[in-house]
Chain A
């Protein structure tokens, strides 16, 4: 088994009003993982633990095979980290920052790539960091992280606050990185459209726990929404693989997370007419997953 780009095993972190419990997942090299969760779900805390900004109370964290936080310096040579709250030094120019990071990574920094990124992100080296808009700041941070070609990129809300054009440019750059099957990306996002489009793996986080994690295509294959028509008096059977049934008059909407061809047949045998079977968007899948888990927990 090859070394995972990221591996978390049973990570826990307790705060007065919030706790991360038993967080475990793995990111294989050459893949992108999208990390989805509501505000306060624990995405940022998990990422902080990944980057050794916060020490876990329990559990193991490995970045590129390096134990965190103990071997963090070794790991950080090959990990690029950008978070939306991160800032550069106001008293200096972008050019100064480029020079600063470049001097720290003499072998890894790619001048031509940096120049291309400057152009693509519409940034000017002479700009003072103080005068950058929020979107420009994020792009500048990205540039500084990308130009040294780290094997792993950890991004906390990379597209937040970016205009649609900048978002597309950034996504384009991230996908370019994946042409190298040794390089991996973990990014957290509220924007389920972005996650849906470019992720290979998706992990859902809610209230400090992983509620689901896996292959994106499998997620989309498993989840379906069925529209049924049936007389009010008829009861619907309990079918395995269904997480929610919403009835209103003659219609019933069934949300299933383990869809197969047998599922609609079970309802049809009970007397319902199948009107429609629809795939669900990632956002719908996420909401349904979270609702189900919260119901299970009795929250």
Chain B
């Protein structure tokens, strides 16, 4: 199983979070489909050259979130949940929106002004399409 995950030590975020995010990303873009088998903890540790304990933690969190499931003796798989891809993409969107909300608040914008700015930005993007 070819792993396309890469961990950067230059990235200030903890390694287990990078793993979690990259797995979510793979599922979100559809590279890893529902029910697809993914590398075992030790296999992923070897291919990313990251400690087993870190991968274990990432997989634990991912399982907790419902993104992956482990079947004892059979391996680790992406959740069968077909809604998952959509859900993850929506989660990502929410994260971006949360960041935008924080930035807006710091500028002192109210909710109505924030909505207006969003409309402006979308309109501009439509024009340049």
Contacts and interface: CB of A to CB of B under 8 A. Distances in A.
Interface of A: 30-32, 168, 171-172, 175-176, 178-179, 181, 193, 196-201, 215-217, 220, 279
A200 B55 CA distance: 10
A259 to B, nearest CB: 13
A215 B53 contact: yes
B17 to A, nearest CB: 10
Contact of A198 (B12, B14, B49): B49
B77 interface: no
Contact of A32 (B12, B43, B51, B57): B51
Given A175-B45, A178-B42, A179-B43, A199 B12 contact: no
Interface string B45-67: 11001111110010000000000
Q: Which of A31, A172, A179 has the most CB of B within 10 A?
A: A179
Contact of B54 (A171, A193, A217): A217
B46 A179 contact: yes
Contacts of A197: 7, 9, 15, 49-51
Most buried by A among B46, B50, B51, B54: B51
B57 A217 contact: yes
B56 to A, nearest CB: 9
A32 B45 CA distance: 12
B39 to A, nearest CB: 10
A216 B53 contact: yes
Contacts of B46: 172, 175-176, 178-179
A193 B53 contact: no
Given A197-B51, A200-B52, A215-B53, A279 B45 contact: no
A105 B50 CA distance: 31
Contacts, number: 50
B53 A217 contact: yes
- Most B CB within 10 A of own CB, among A171, A175, A216: A175
Contacts of A31: 52-53
Contact of B42 (A179, A199, A216, A217): A179
A279 B14 CA distance: 8
Given A200-B51, A201-B53, 19 more contacts: A31-B52, A32-B51, A171-B49, A172-B49, A175-B45, A175-B49, A175-B50, A178-B45, A179-B43, A196-B9, A197-B9, A198-B50, A198-B51, A199-B51, A200-B53, A216-B51, A216-B53, A217-B53, A220-B14
Contact of A216 (B7, B43, B45, B54): B54
Contacts of A217: 16, 53-54, 57
B97 to A, nearest CB: 24
Contacts of B16: 217
A141 to B, nearest CB: 21
17 contacts: A31-B52, A171-B49, A175-B46, A175-B49, A175-B50, A178-B46, A197-B15, A198-B49, A198-B51, A199-B51, A200-B51, A200-B52, A200-B53, A201-B53, A217-B53, A220-B14, A279-B14
Identify which of A199, A216, A217 gathers the most chain B CB atoms within 10 Å of its CB.
A217
A279 B49 contact: no
Contacts of B42: 178-179, 181
A153 to B, nearest CB: 15
B15 to A, nearest CB: 7
B52 A178 contact: yes
Contacts of A172: 46, 49
Contacts of B14: 220, 279
A32 B52 CA distance: 9
Contacts of A198: 49-51
A177 B55 CA distance: 16
Contacts of A193: 9
Interface string B34-48: 000000001101100
